[in-house]
Amino acid sequence: MIAARALRLALLAAGTAGGLSGAAYGLLNGQSRYARWVIGPPANDPLRADGIHLPSGIGPVLRRELVDDVEPLEFAVLGDSAAAGLGVDLPAELPGVRLARGLAEELDRPVELTTHAIVGTTSQELAAQVDAALVRPPELVLIIIGANDVTSMLPVSACADLLGQAVRRLVEAGVTVVVGTCPDLGAIRPIPQPLRSIARHWSLALGRAQRRVVDAAGGRALPLADLLSPEFLARPGEFFSPDRYHPSAAGYEAATTILLPAMCAAIGEWEGGPLPPAPIRSEAAEARRPTSRIVARLNRRLHRRADS
């Protein structure tokens, strides 16, 4: 989890690539401890509401309750705490449940939700979730992963390759795969500057690499950082849960509003008109792209303090 691992990868990137002085590195290390303290550990495990959800919005229900033995669409969710829905108060607010019920309404068909996502998962653990999903391959899989890769000191290219392998295995088994790429960690206000800019840079780089490998493996990638971070930055009190890191019910609703049409289109069941192309890189993300000047300014500020 981001809080527990204290953004160590962002610190490492800053210290090696940016040429930080010892004083600047110490400041960032202190900022990471502060962020860990402010965010804190999760108060509870994610809620669960796996099972069959109906077009009427009712669910989960038992298979024997289905009318005329209608076969539900099998839908699985893989990934980390964002996929699992950590941060909501009610089962109906879980992203998996929102998507299952949205799919059921669009398809006019029951949808059976199975959640394999686990809090704290990195791309290194994703293969185990794929193994579990392939015991009985679903028709549709959603994967959301990446934030813990940024905080676990895992290289961008290695994490992207692991995601690509997972998507390829699912696609080869006949599963349609949609991936929500790494969110923008720079939207998390408890992370102070300049550490927040470094975390943003790393998460956006991972998101871009994930998008390339997912497309190459036959999946469909949605750049969550580009599509959602402007809203999260503008409305943090509404879109983040009380820990100010995990999304709130409103934040998950914003994400599922973007994901649902793409998932329906991926399985050939979208009737809401042409979907707009996902941005290559949004203007908002480009405007926030950090440069080495951040590090230089930080070092100058610290040296001025030391000389005074």
The residue type at 102: G
- Compute the distance between CA of residue 45 and CA of residue 64 in angstroms, rounded to an integer: 29
Q: Would you call 81 a catalytic residue per the annotation? A: yes
Q: Indicate which residue of 229, 246, 248, 282 is catalytic.
A: 246
CB 112 within 8 A of CB 75: yes
Annotated active-site residue in 50, 149, 226, 243: 243
Among 32, 80, 81, 201, which one carries the catalytic annotation? Answer: 81
- 116 catalytic? Reply is no
Cα gap 164→215, rounded to integer Å: 9
243 part of the active site: yes
Three-state secondary structure readout of the chain: CHHHHCCHHHHHHHHHHCCCCHHHHHHHHHHHHHHHHHHCCCCCCCCCCCEEECCCCCCCECHHHCHHHCCCEEEEEEECHHHHCCCCCCHHHCHHHHHHHHHHHHHCCCEEEEECCCCCCCHHHHHHHHHHHCCCCCCEEEEECCHHHHHCCCCHHHHHHHHHHHHHHHHHCCCEEEEECCCCHHHCCCCCCCHHHHHHHHHHHHHHHHHHHHHHHCCEEECHHHHHHHHHHHCHHHHECCCCCCECHHHHHHHHHHHHHHHHHHCCCCCCCCCCCCCCCCHHHHHCCCCHHHHHHHHHHHHHHHHC
Q: Helix 249-266 and helix 224-234: axis angle, to 10°? A: 160
- Enzyme catalytic residues: 81, 243, 246
